[in-house]
Structure 1
């Protein structure tokens, strides 16, 4: 919907996306998704899209300079796009976190060249980064924002937020089969009401620190491996540099009752996305299961774990058989 509206509003057909981008599996979304597996001749449409390097893709080089040059040079070979679409933190791409400065430069370039800025907040919005929108920290004011996944509280719901001046659709120009899901609207209202609770917001920061601290200690314990931890809020990725190693850890963790997911171009990044309101004891239990699974794959002895206080809550929870960190 965002791509369709941007092209109609600006009366241009081209779009800029970024390396390692993931924006979905529908026909339009596939065109701006970076992974090579989605770019065969028979799967999806890939016309009128230029992929440029995301922040950090070329090391310390500021890749916004390349976008500036491509937009300003009339011989660059890239048509003036209708929009730039990006994730502030790339989820499926490997938990790559764009700096505030880079994001602000991208927005400035869009404004200078009359290009719309679309933020895909489907995975990293809805409080995942600590604020409701992932771009709040950078102070962005995008033209369109895509929201879905957890906004529906487990029920199917997707939203496109549009600056009023961009809404040029006439009645019936954009329709869909699955519309008016009243139960999903009720669930979404309940989800949004959490943001009226100060303890819910502060709890996200507390759990974020727990994640960062424990995962950082695991990186230090395995310093010889040259792993990298990336993330913010309640989304973190542990880059173990090997898709084969990541798969072994995921499989063993699953046997131990813990669900993990991989991301990155080679599935080399272990992805941590627990529920925003996960109880602290359950978060620690999951992290301990992960550490034990990792050590077992690496043939290391199990690390000592912090004791859990046997409260009524933990006793009741222990009757369950599995938990989810992603």
Structure 2
């Protein structure tokens, strides 16, 4: 397709702006990473910008030797995987019938779904309700409240609405039921939207902070984000390093290493779902 000179200039301008914004967004992250690998003296003298000074693994050696941090990490990985799987399953089971015109209550149910997006539950009644069903100081509170999102339900329903009816009709003529149709035909052909919603659900559960802050009191059940908050804000969690001369880390380098430790899994997973991300999000946002 031939583009005019003004269209090319506009495209190049957008590209330059995106590059600038990307660099601006990366600078704080690179700074934190550099501090985590820098010597305590260089950090204390504010010599570190986006490149480590006095390169050392001391902060990471101390951090990775802490079992309590690994316990929170394992708990967060486990709850993220379980919650994401259950969320995709529940969302698919709800979105598929809601995408069918022959399902008469679909219109009323979709209105109810939209209402839950507009009017959020007040915090105090929500807290009392969750506590009344036995989820207070229970690790299940890290999973159950996140297994359904109205926004994600709408995206998947929209995707299912444009699924070829001819394929479904052919499967029904062969004696295929709705559940078999969903699990054997629809979901295997819905990798784009499944990958997109898996990323949405997974990031929410991985980064959850408010739920464990409200409902988890036992430090053994702290997820990673709450453990990091404890690690950074509680002075008793930091080693007394000022009087020790043979180590090369400080409170700032340890805090930076902790922050980087928390975001590494998300950064590693994202490239594998990136190719599905844009396609799935656009499908769910264009057609209603």
Question: TM-score if structure 1 supplies the norm length?
Answer: 0.22
Larger helix share, 1 or 2: 2
Larger radius of gyration: 2
Larger RCO of the pair (alpha carbons < 8 Å, separation 6+): 2
Larger strand share, 1 or 2: 1
